[in-house]
Amino acid sequence: MCCLIFSVDMSHRQAADSVIGAVEASGRHYRDSLPMIASENILSPLVRRACNSDLHGRYAEGLPRRRYYQGCEDFDTIEEIGISSAKRVFNCNFANIQSTSGTNSNMGVLKALAKPGDTITAVSTADGGHISHARMGAVGLRGLNLITYPWDLGRMEPDIDAAAALIRESEPTIALFGQSVFLFPTPLAELSDAAHEVGARVMFDAAHVLGLVAGGQFQDPLHEGADVMTGSSHKTFPGPQGGFVLSDSDDEKFQRRLNSGIFPGVCSSYHLHHVAGKVVALSEFEAFGEEYASDTVSNAKALGEALASEGFDVLAEERGYTASHQVVTRHGEVDSGAGRDAAATLEQAGIITNMNMLPGDTKALAPSGLRLGTPELTRVGMGTDEMQDVARFFARSLLEGEDPKAVKHDVTEFKGDYRTVRYCFEPGPAYPGLD
């Protein structure tokens, strides 16, 4: 990575050139590294083409054929194709493809289904819940009373009996499930029964696992009791930045509430170029998604086993480490900052990860763990054999104390064979314009 020093005397053009230089430097950094942040992915050439279009500056408030602006006929076609495709991909009766992120989707659904002062149950951030499920995020923004589930550390999921009892006792307006650290399917059928008994709506945040759900490789929340499912379009679902709101309900009033939660609830215009990219990604997912989801999970399982074989403390050993795209490792005592230090060392060695709180940690900036993901490595053609190589790079960097520069040299050479984006209609450069 280059280091750019900004001067107050720099001309306007120099400032712009410096930004473009930093953009290109970032692209080279990822191209030559092993990107393993679980929430990231890359774009196919066709998705990139849709995103890099005139739509980037256009507005289309409202729903297809019911807009507040003129000039939307072509975008109506795009959104109609996308809604139909999303209903097929997720096997559901309702799809809103307008939201600009997974968090934005959550905000819209919370606005649609709850009012300030209502109670919501969710996974604690300390146990892997997303920040939008917390008082610091969308739940707090909506003014909801948050109660978190008891956690089963060995299984890395809500304690089924205790969580069901909590739901029955607290009688929430919304029972929210889903996590940011997401290794195994949620026991949703059992817990949604408890929620529906007390009149709660069940909301499932599938941001991380949405592509695995759509590819039939994880669980099927909308047919296991969830009234509504939200998700991101840029993690295991390999599209551009954006979100989804999905439901299998055929209740038109409920569908209108969900649509209104997004617009005018939390969106004005909703980044039409990204919506177009989402629609292209949906079409590609219909063709290649099952294979991509399967390969992503297979790679994560192989990575977990390989890291454990190298001597790392990989969580959930008794369950086979993972059933998703994620692997979680512990690198020291609780709140020791060992995860932060491991992530910094790995980046010096050309491996991009993120530190992560694990159960027991209380310091978000000094956690003990790493959360690792396989979506991007899979997307550029790596398979289970390559996960053994990746684990070896980890061991050389963190267990054997090898000079990170030497490891980085080998990582860059290794990555040189994996720079083509796959599982799409037109395979092409994963990091375009840099070679």
Quote the domain boundaries for residue 239. Answer: 47-284
CATH of the domain at 66: 3.40.640.10
Chain Cα centroid distance, residue 53: 24
Q: Is the dihedral of CA 21, 346, 205, 300 positive or negative?
A: positive
Token pair 């499930």 in the structure block, residue: 177
Q: How many domains does the chain have?
A: 2
Q: Name, in order, each residue with C-beta under 8 angstroms of 93's C-beta and a sequence gap of 6 or more.
A: 87, 247, 248, 249, 250
Residues 387 and 422 reside in one and the same domain: yes
What token pair was written down for 393? 């790079």
Residue 147 lies in a domain: yes
Residue 384 lies in a domain: yes
Residue 247 lies in a domain: yes
Which of 252, 284, 316 lies at the terminal end of a domain, its last residue?
284
What number of other Cβ atoms are within 10 A of residue 262's Cβ? Answer: 24
Residues 319 and 222 reside in one and the same domain: no
What number of other Cβ atoms are within 10 A of residue 392's Cβ? Answer: 18
Contact 299, 378 (CB under 8 A): yes
Q: Which residues on neighbouring strands pair with residue 157, listed in sequence order? A: 152
Residues 296 and 409 reside in one and the same domain: yes
Residues 187 and 293 reside in one and the same domain: no
What's the CA gap between 351 and 344, in Å, rounded? 9
Residues 298 and 173 reside in one and the same domain: no
Residue 21 lies in a domain: no
Which of 262, 284, 306 lies at the terminal end of a domain, its last residue?
284
Residue 7 lies in a domain: no
CATH of the domain at 299: 3.90.1150.10
Long-range own/partner contacts, residues 395-398 (CB < 8 A, 24 or more apart):
395/310, 395/311, 395/312, 396/349, 397/345, 397/346, 397/348, 397/349, 397/351, 398/312, 398/331, 398/342, 398/345, 398/346
Residue 6 lies in a domain: no
Which of 284-315 are b and which e, b meaning 16 or more Cβ less than 10 Å from the residue's Cβ? bbeebbeebbebbbbbbbbbbbbbbebebebb
Residue 207 lies in a domain: yes
Residues 192 and 335 reside in one and the same domain: no
Which of 284, 313, 341 lies at the terminal end of a domain, its last residue?
284
pLDDT tens digits, the chain, 435 residues: what are they? 455 555 556 688 999 999 999 999 999 999 999 999 999 999 999 999 999 999 999 999 999 999 999 999 999 999 999 999 999 999 999 999 999 999 999 999 999 999 999 999 999 998 999 999 999 999 999 999 999 999 998 899 999 999 999 999 999 999 999 999 999 999 999 999 999 999 999 999 999 999 999 999 999 999 999 999 999 999 999 999 999 999 999 999 999 999 999 999 999 989 999 999 999 999 999 999 999 999 999 999 999 999 999 999 999 999 999 999 999 999 999 999 999 999 999 999 999 999 999 988 999 999 999 999 999 999 999 999 999 999 999 999 999 999 999 999 999 999 999 999 999 999 999 999 876
What token pair was written down for 408? 């980085």
What's the CA gap between 206 and 227, in Å, rounded? 13
Residue 11 lies in a domain: no
Which of 189-208 are b and which e, b meaning 16 or more Cβ less than 10 Å from the residue's Cβ? eebbebbeeeebbbbbbbbb
Residues 255 and 304 reside in one and the same domain: no
- pLDDT reported for residue 65: 96
For residue 407, give the DSSP letter.
Answer: H
Residues 266 and 308 reside in one and the same domain: no
Residues 329 and 354 reside in one and the same domain: yes
- pLDDT reported for residue 359: 87
Residues 177 and 317 reside in one and the same domain: no
- pLDDT reported for residue 433: 82
Residues 95 and 150 reside in one and the same domain: yes
Residues 144 and 202 reside in one and the same domain: yes
Q: Model pTM?
A: 0.95
- pLDDT reported for residue 4: 54
| Greatest C-alpha distance within the chain | 65
